Chains A and B, each alone.
Chain A
Amino acid sequence: MNLLSGNGLQQTTNYRVVFCLFIFMLLLHFFLGSLLLLIHSDIYDIKTHYFHPYTLTIVHTMALGWATMIIFGASHQLLPVLIEGKLDSNLLAYLTFGFTSIGIPFIAYAFYNWQVGFPMKIGAVLINLGVICYLVNIISSIYYSTKKRCTHVVYFCGIYLAFFQQRFFGLLLVFNFSYPLLPDNSLDYLTLHSHLGIIGWFLLLVIGVGSRLIPMFLISKYTNVKQLWIIFTLVNISLLSFIVLRILQFESVYYFISIFLSLLAIVFFVQYCLRAYKVRIRKSVDEQMKISLLSVLLMLAPLLVLLIVLLMIPVDKNYNMATLYGFCIFFGWLTAIILGMTFKTLPFIVWNKVYRRISHAGKTPVPKDLFKESIFNWMAITYIFGFIIFVLGLVFSISIILKIGAFSLFASSILYILNVIIILTHQSKVS
């Protein structure tokens, strides 16, 4: 007879909730890779303005379909670990998936064909409904968690509220095309909308999650709550200062204040990760962690591009540099950390589903055995090669270089999908 007593285990999130978000995300990534390869790379060899339907389609597919959906999927699984509580509602998680999975294709279609009417509006409304469900679920989970005041919980509350603001502002911009809700046209608010997402959502989220997961996976004793608070404050002041400067239409020189604050926050975060790396107990670092650590360094790239744009390139000639800035964010640090963390977290989720109840029956594979390491390595090589080549293509506006870079990134996305399918279709192997 076996008994389990004591504090007991807390339930982790239902795997089905996470599965549907992951699967949807990888299908869109496939879509994105094809789109980038076949159509969009050509438009950048003629220095196209970033307010171009194809660019907007890529940006929204990457930001919403790729980065946000995988963040939704992973955060539903990881939130219980981060807040030391359980996910409040699986129903709200399904609704988040339902609303966003329908809304994102509408938005992508609307941008691609530049239809600012019904498709864009319905897409924006659905995405906002999904975000509201997500926000309510996360905040109620945090409310019932055991660590209401811990640093990471405050971090996440701030991030989710910023994300809601960003999505709500996106909704306003969509309706502003048809009804004069805002004093200026939507193009004038584009930088504001994008930076609410880039800084308030992605940057804070990557720092929040990374500061917890990177030391955890490295088995590092390092922690520095004070430094995390400094980073959190710097990023928020940077974002607020940018919003104020943008709304009051200050000259571009004043934007250095915001850039400097964000740069300082990222440098502190890089330092945090470096210290965690130095005092790690587990000396051998796996490939998934290496690419995740690379993404931390890649966080500096967009700001360096921004400094080059502001200091060296006239406003009327910086279209490709603005695209490069966005490329470094979405295909640089965001994609790198997703590629790494997918293969740290998804095998766990599947392993738990397949082996949780039978792992004592014999020798079972470990989570890292659930994907092919050789495919992962080739994915990493083609990704890094494609990223560097595409950056060179953007800098020098050379079509063939852009094509090679896009093709390599596309190959990387195929290898990524292949490995994810291998994980998702894993069958029980007990010897």
Chain B
Amino acid sequence: MNEITNDNIKCNIALTALYDVIDPEIGLNVVDLGLIYEINFDETAQRIKTDMTLTTQFCPMGDSIVGNVTQSLQDAFPAWEIVVNLTFDPPWNYSRISPDGQEFLGR
């Protein structure tokens, strides 16, 4: 098993895991949808803190999306503590969709 040596590699692993978390209505992953604001790795506490949002605070799929984000990160980093911070400041807007995401929706 490769040893994780820096934040960039870990961040890539986390993002790869999160690409598998799909918004069930839109069909787009949470990274390209722009729901993930920040991922921080605390080496000392072995803790991953993720700031994320939803398209609306009252998103009916919110529970499921947040649960999937948490579980995907936990699967990718089994030994780490996962903290998902759900924030609506700033609120999500359409400009957060990545070019790949826009291309996917434009098909």
Contact = CB atoms under 8 A, between A and B. Distances in A.
A341 interface: no
Of B24, B70, B71, chain A has the most CB atoms within 10 Å of the CB of B24
Interface in A1-50: 1-10, 12
A81 B55 CA distance: 11
A12 B95 CA distance: 27
Contact of B87 (A7, A10, A352): A7
Contact of A219 (B51, B54, B56, B105): B105
B9 interface: no
B97 A281 contact: yes
Give the size range of B's interface with the partner. 35 or more
Contacts of B51: 6
B53 to A, nearest CB: 9
A351 B22 CA distance: 14
Contacts of A324: none
Contacts of B105: 219, 281-283
A357 B67 contact: yes
Nearest to B89: A7
Nearest to A8: B86
Interface in A57-100: 77, 80-81, 84-85
B68 A359 contact: yes
A430 B87 CA distance: 29
B86 A352 contact: no
B60 A349 contact: yes
Contacts of B26: 219, 282
B66 A7 contact: no
A238 B44 CA distance: 67
A221 B105 CA distance: 14
A3 B85 CA distance: 8
A7 B88 contact: yes
B61 A348 contact: yes
Interface string B57-89: 111111110111011101000000111111111
Interface size class of A (residues with CB under 8 A): 20 to 34
B66 A4 contact: yes
A6 B25 contact: no
Contacts of A281: 94, 97, 102, 105-106
Given A7-B57, A7-B87, A348-B25, A1 B102 contact: no
A286 to B, nearest CB: 11
A4 B83 CA distance: 6
A420 to B, nearest CB: 18
A356 B64 contact: yes
Contacts of B60: 12, 77, 81, 348-349, 352
Given A281-B94, A281-B105, A359-B68, A84 B58 contact: yes
Contacts of A221: 94
Nearest to B73: A2
Contact of A4 (B58, B64, B86): B86
Given A3-B81, A219-B105, A367-B24, A359 B67 contact: yes
Nearest to B62: A9
A360 interface: yes
B25 to A, nearest CB: 6
B87 A3 contact: no
A284 B105 CA distance: 8
Contacts of B81: 1-3
Contact of A2 (B63, B70, B88, B107): B70
Given A2-B74, A7-B86, A281-B106, A356 B25 contact: no
B99 interface: no
Contacts of A349: 60
Contacts of B74: 2
Contacts of B84: 2-6
A422 interface: no
A5 B58 contact: no
A355 interface: yes
Interface of A: 1-10, 12, 77, 80-81, 84-85, 219, 221, 281-284, 348-349, 351-352, 355-357, 359-361, 366-367
Given A3-B81, A5-B83, A356-B64, 5 more contacts: A2-B82, A3-B84, A85-B58, A281-B102, A351-B61
28 contacts: A1-B82, A3-B83, A7-B89, A9-B62, A10-B57, A12-B58, A12-B60, A81-B56, A81-B58, A81-B60, A84-B57, A85-B58, A219-B94, A219-B105, A281-B94, A281-B97, A281-B102, A282-B106, A284-B107, A349-B60, A352-B60, A352-B64, A357-B63, A359-B24, A359-B67, A360-B68, A360-B72, A367-B24
